[in-house]
Structure 1
Amino acid sequence: MSKRSGAPRLRRTWPQRFLISFNVICIVGALVGAGSLAYAKRVVGDISRVKIDSIATLDSQGLGDQPRNFLIVGADSDDGLAANDPARINRDETVGGVRSDTIMIVRLDPKTEQAKVLSFPRDLWVDIPGSSKNRINAALQFGGPDLLISTIKANFDIDVNHYVQVNFAGFQQLVKLLDGVPVYFDRAMRDANSGLDIPNPGCVVLDEHQALSYVRSRHLKYFDTESGKWLADPTADLGRISRQQDFIKRVLRRAISQGARNPAKLSELVNVGVENITLDQNTTPGDLIALGNAFRNFDPNHLQTFSLPVTDVTRGGAAVLDLVAGEAEPTLALFRGTGEPVDSSDLDPSTIAVQVLNGSGKQDQAAEATEILRTAGFKTDEPSSATATAVTEVRYGPGQEAQAVLVARHLLATSVLVEDAEATQITVITGADFAQALLQPMDESLVSVPTTTTTTTTTAPEVTATTVAGTEATTDPASVTTTSEHAGIVPEAAPAGESCG
């Protein structure tokens, strides 16, 4: 992509759109829960509307309980921004139309109270119906919301039931209303392009300007205390997406907690949401009130975020992204409603081989966990050690996902399932989060273990195969790890004994 000169370009990115949109649903739920049904109806009735013909309708029977997909779009337009807002500087407004700078599907299931988010890279190369191949964000420019929805259906077979377009002006208002968002930085960080500047480690309450710089950061540098140098996060946009996903949960937690405690704050949050979104004409007040009621107690920690596996390529001299179709299918199935939940209840532990590796550094942890799993009936290999990791991994080979889920149910940890094409047995790598192994499995509903895939491929330097969320950064362009775990430098929770928000 061409290098831009001049002042840093400020753009609101997808977490800002999501926060404002999902916040409206949660706030409507809070209003209903507080007995303010009439106010909730008026609030929803005040939202702007746009007519769209390509919206997929839901069956009328049991409408309130059906999962539905919201297409959330943030258009690269300066509508709603003040004349002196710095976000107007060097905007990439498109003459004759407006491109979408944020495209994501939010799938909400009222029965299970599950919320999933799938983000589409705006440079994803797709077939645009009635036109030629182009970046997916060009569809909005060429034919408005109808063409964008048709493009998503044609390329990914995902139905869109509701359309939400978000105004740029709302994000900073939201953060300001929340009195900032606390983030614990374990190291100094900066990004000259976005304006991020965290000079010292510790808890920082990001104000509306710092928050914008943080979620925009794709040229992040961090201070390495061992070398005494500033090092670049090599994951670029992949790292930014990871930080955005983390930031979403932080803001949702703060918005829900502050809004629930403070009626005046709730009213202000309502106004920010209503003033900054547009809905399709078919989304009724009843739809949003039913959803809001179902999600009024939603825990942001249960938000599931997904990204598509893509490959960097050049088309006509432009840098774009190709979808890795085979690897994308399990994720796309979840948003089509065809992904089947893993059922591990009928499996016999004695048929499952497990090895435990100590990735936390705690003495005898792998040996103790191995003994408990052996007693629980698993076939266990000798324990060993592994590279230090923060989060416990359960690695498995092709076709072993159900077995991996059963093993994860025997672990008191924030387990992440990682599919490894070369694995022949289940391998548990204990992380800093690992508490202990369990003789009896937890209920499967308590285990949140999204499937990820790890493969290693060799590519030419100018074409890098990587998914939009990798687990480890690499400086070797010929060796690339593809996975849907988080990439890059992402602040973690504050150390034990320290409070941050």
Structure 2
Amino acid sequence: MTTDPASTPVSTRPLAPKGRWWRRVVIGVLFLANLGVGLVLFAVQSGQSAFNENVTQNTDVTPELDARPTENTEPITFLVIGSDTREGLESLQNFGESNGARGDVIMLIKLNPANGSAQILSLPRDLLVDIPGHGTDRINAAYSFGGAPLMVRTVRAATGLPIHHYVEIDFVGFQALVNEIGGVHLDFPYPARDLNSGLDVEAGNQLLDGAQALAFARSRRYEELQGDSWVNIDADDFGRTRRQQRLILAILSELKTPSSLTEAGSIVASFAQHLTVDSALAESSLVQLAFQMRGISSQTMETATLPGYITDFEGKSVVRMSHPEADRMIVAFAEGKLLDLSSQEVLRLEVLNGNGVEGAAGRMSDLLEEKGFEVASIGEADSYDFETTTIIVRPEALASAQALVDLLGFGTVSTGSLTDGIDAIVIVGLDADRSLQSG
């Protein structure tokens, strides 16, 4: 028995000079590492020296990695770890004490240069696996037992997937990145909080600073104020993983804005010191990848969490893989197929009035039912400031939600937490009311 140690297209332009391609790679890897934040590769004019001086290269993990594909158009898989170290977070007393570091966030990110797409497969940190040389335990224990090398071996053994590169980021780096880009916007249908992580936000579109974004990403006791009561929503390992994936897409959108592009140098300077990568990332073979992946966006990135269920093991709460769902998802990830295994199912919807126009939710409900969707409930959002109709789904159901937007002809998709039995929340904005009235 072990103990829990921590209770789109390919570019045809010539390659950039050596100094410039490194800057492209730097930005991509930084954002890739940010609690799993998807790869953002774009041209920058400064920041190379800051990266070279501050980034840490892990030479021990490099021998454990799989050989990269010989063709530059073949997919490449990164193991991304969010290290659960409290060093430098004295102001965040909510997080408590931690002896040593753990793999608090564990994600596999697959980049496909052939079509400029990316997939993120999150592994619950409490996933029960066999850790080579240490028996059966939660997967994040591998980091404490043997650091990055053992983490790579453990994830590979659990999934059977190749791992070509390793990236690690600590909490301070995540907070610094969010602050450097001026915060990140997220939609909240209700006021939300987590008394443990320190999250405290109002309903509506909110701009989170680094501290609140970190509290959101680390929340395991997420609550929403629905009516007069605080209700636990996705208050478990799976819910926290979905919130982290939601931040991935939101930060990616912020990073693609003109202001972030022009400030890339300062982003690199403040973030690089919190980043650890395998030494093979210094190889010049990443030049072509940087060009090929430069157009990546939230529309070309798919996220999912490995299916599992919460149970007990030797007195500890753990997550066991759900078979055969987990097996199918791993195969889909390996083959570059859609990870949303339920994308063909009819969505069960909750419709909320988010524009304050009387009857807006009812009219939307009627329209959705006419189109074959099941409306489970109708109500009022906690805010009437939604200009645009917002469809909130879990990250793994983005494809289904986008199909709904395409069907309606208006609206936008956001990721967030949902109550059990609900597949999506439709918050009716002013654009919907205008469209329904004109129709």
TM-score (norm 2): 0.70
CA contact (8 A) 1:76 1:93 kept: no
Q: Which residue of 1 aligns with 2:396?
A: none
Moved more, 248-257 or 209-218: 209-218
* CA 1:433–1:220: 2 relative to 1, 3 Å: farther
The alpha-carbon deviation at position 241 of structure 1 amounts to 2.5
Instruction: Please state whether the residue corresponding to 2:280 is helix, strand or coil.
Output: coil
Instruction: Please state whether the residue corresponding to 2:133 is helix, strand or coil.
Output: coil
Instruction: Please state whether the residue corresponding to 2:78 is helix, strand or coil.
Output: strand
| C-alpha distance in structure 1 between counterparts of 2:94 and 2:282, whole Å | 34
The alpha-carbon deviation at position 69 of structure 1 amounts to 0.6
CA contact (8 A) 1:259 1:269 kept: no
**1:317 correspondence with 2:251:** no
The alpha-carbon deviation at position 216 of structure 1 amounts to 2.2
The alpha-carbon deviation at position 392 of structure 1 amounts to 11
**1:163 correspondence with 2:177:** no
The alpha-carbon deviation at position 40 of structure 1 amounts to 7.8
Q: Which residue of 2 aligns with 1:113?
A: 116
Moved more, 265-274 or 233-242: 233-242
CA contact (8 A) 1:359 1:432 kept: no
- Gapped runs of 5+ residues in structure 1? 6-15, 343-353, 370-382, 394-404, 416-430, 437-447, 449-468, 475-480
The aligned runs of 1:148-227 (5 Å cut-off) are 148-198=151-201, 200-225=202-227
Q: Which residue of 2 aligns with 1:90?
A: 96
**1:257 correspondence with 2:257:** yes
The alpha-carbon deviation at position 329 of structure 1 amounts to 1.6
Identity %: 25
The alpha-carbon deviation at position 259 of structure 1 amounts to 4.8
Instruction: Please state whether the residue corresponding to 1:283 is helix, strand or coil.
Output: helix
CA contact (8 A) 1:21 1:164 kept: no
| C-alpha distance in structure 2 between counterparts of 1:190 and 1:358, whole Å | 24
Q: Which residue of 1 aligns with 2:43?
A: 30
Aligned residues between the structures: 368
CA contact (8 A) 1:44 1:285 kept: no
The alpha-carbon deviation at position 230 of structure 1 amounts to 2.6
Once the two structures are superposed, what CA deviation does each residue of 1:441-490 show, in whole Å capped at 9, x if it has no partner? xxxxxxx9xxxxxxxxxxxxxxxxxxxx996426xxxxxx9xxx78xxx9
Q: CA RMSD in A?
A: 4.2
Which protein is richer in helix relative to its size?
2
* CA 1:166–1:175: 2 relative to 1, 3 Å: same
The aligned runs of 1:56-455 (5 Å cut-off) are 56-60=66-70, 62=71, 64-79=72-87, 81=88, 84-86=90-92, 90-94=96-100, 98-198=101-201, 200-225=202-227, 228-233=228-233, 235-259=235-259, 261-262=261-262, 265-337=263-335, 339=337, 362=364, 365=367, 386-387=375-376, 414-415=402-403, 434-435=407-408
CA contact (8 A) 1:74 1:100 kept: yes
CA contact (8 A) 2:303 2:339 kept: no
Q: Which residue of 2 aligns with 1:495?
A: 429
TM-score (norm 1): 0.62
Q: Which residue of 2 aligns with 1:398?
A: none
* CA 1:329–1:368: 2 relative to 1, 3 Å: same
The alpha-carbon deviation at position 273 of structure 1 amounts to 3.6
* CA 1:356–1:308: 2 relative to 1, 3 Å: closer
Instruction: Please state whether the residue corresponding to 1:282 is helix, strand or coil.
Output: helix
* CA 1:433–1:224: 2 relative to 1, 3 Å: farther
Instruction: Please state whether the residue corresponding to 2:215 is helix, strand or coil.
Output: helix
CA contact (8 A) 1:67 1:109 kept: yes
CA contact (8 A) 1:357 1:366 kept: no
CA contact (8 A) 2:104 2:125 kept: yes
| C-alpha distance in structure 2 between counterparts of 1:338 and 1:251, whole Å | 23
Instruction: Please state whether the residue corresponding to 2:105 is helix, strand or coil.
Output: strand
The alpha-carbon deviation at position 204 of structure 1 amounts to 2.4
- Gapped runs of 5+ residues in structure 2? 8-29, 352-362, 379-389, 394-398, 433-439
Q: Which residue of 2 aligns with 1:418?
A: none
